[in-house]
């Protein structure tokens, strides 16, 4: 397989985590977003939205959108699973993942921040305030959801979660860890989020998450 991605892209980071958790080998193909390489024909021939990541399967199919890619990997390489066994638990995990991938990330990614500055005329301070507000408020909502799920697990006699759901990484953790990385990079406050930060820290103790992080990527110095 081949993964077209950018080392600091949250969506790319999610897929790298999933690949590492699955123990799957792949060719790392860097696409530098800041330099606009994702808009060049060499890349756009693979994907209509000109975004990263794109996964090219061993059969030559090009898959876009990180959530779809991760679920494809989970279906084709089911061990270890990234979604729980029961429909209710799977719904909880997908909801947590979507809180990051659909609510927090889209309004804080690189193209939105660039638009704020270049087209909307926002200052760097305004751009940073935007990022801090939406990231912090999104993570506070994530924390509240983890607290509600902890209550549900307790009512069912289940052990407290170590990660987002249970004691093994799921799709939700694949999404949370890159979001926390970017929050730290932009110096967003993470105090008062014990369940969220605890899940992140538990994940980062695992080799798969360490190998997927941006500093471990071959293009991290580009």
Same domain, 107 and 200: yes
Using CB atoms within 10 Å of the CB of residue 187, give its burial: 0 to 12 exposed, 13 to 18 middle, 19+ buried. exposed
Q: State how many domains the chain has.
A: 2
Residue 123 lies in a domain: yes
**Locus of tokens 């693979």:** 46
Same domain, 206 and 96: yes
How many angstroms separate the CA atoms of 52 and 28, rounded?
12
Residue 222 lies in a domain: no
In the predicted model, residues of the chain with pLDDT beneath 70 are: 222
pLDDT value, residue 45: 81
* Containing structural domain, residue 45: 2-80
Same domain, 102 and 199: yes
pLDDT value, residue 151: 98
Same domain, 142 and 157: yes
Distance in Å from the first CA to the final CA of the chain: 23
Same domain, 133 and 47: no
pLDDT digits (tens, 9 = 90+) for 97-150: 999 999 999 999 888 998 999 999 999 999 999 999 999 999 999 999 999 999
Among 80, 115, 132, residue at a domain's last position: 80
Q: Is 25 helix (H, G, I), strand (E, B) or coil?
A: coil
Please name which of 94, 195, 98, 89 lies closest in space to residue 152, comparing C-alpha atoms: 89
Residue 41 lies in a domain: yes
């Amino acid at each position: 397989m081949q993964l077209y991605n950018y080392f600091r892209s949250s969506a790319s980071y999610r897929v790298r985590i999933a690949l590492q958790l699955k123990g799957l080998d792949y060719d790392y193909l860097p696409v530098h977003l800041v330099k606009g390489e994702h808009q060049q024909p060499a890349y756009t021939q693979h994907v209509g939205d000109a975004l990263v990541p794109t996964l090219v399967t061993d059969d030559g199919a090009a898959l876009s959108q990180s959530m779809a890619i991760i679920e494809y990997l989970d279906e084709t390489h089911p061990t270890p699973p990234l979604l729980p066994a029961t429909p209710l638990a799977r719904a909880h995990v997908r909801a947590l993942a979507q809180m990051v991938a659909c609510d927090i990330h889209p309004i804080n990614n690189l193209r939105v921040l660039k638009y704020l500055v270049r087209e909307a005329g926002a200052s760097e301070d305004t751009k940073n305030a935007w990022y801090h507000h939406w990231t912090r408020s999104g993570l506070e909502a994530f924390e509240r959801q983890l607290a509600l799920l902890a209550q549900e697990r307790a009512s069912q006699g289940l052990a407290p979660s170590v990660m987002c759901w249970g004691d093994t990484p799921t799709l939700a953790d694949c999404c949370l860890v890159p979001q926390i990385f970017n929050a730290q990079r932009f110096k967003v406050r993470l105090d008062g989020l014990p369940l969220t930060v605890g899940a992140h820290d538990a994940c980062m103790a695992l080799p798969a998450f360490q190998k997927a992080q941006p500093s471990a990527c071959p293009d991290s110095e580009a």
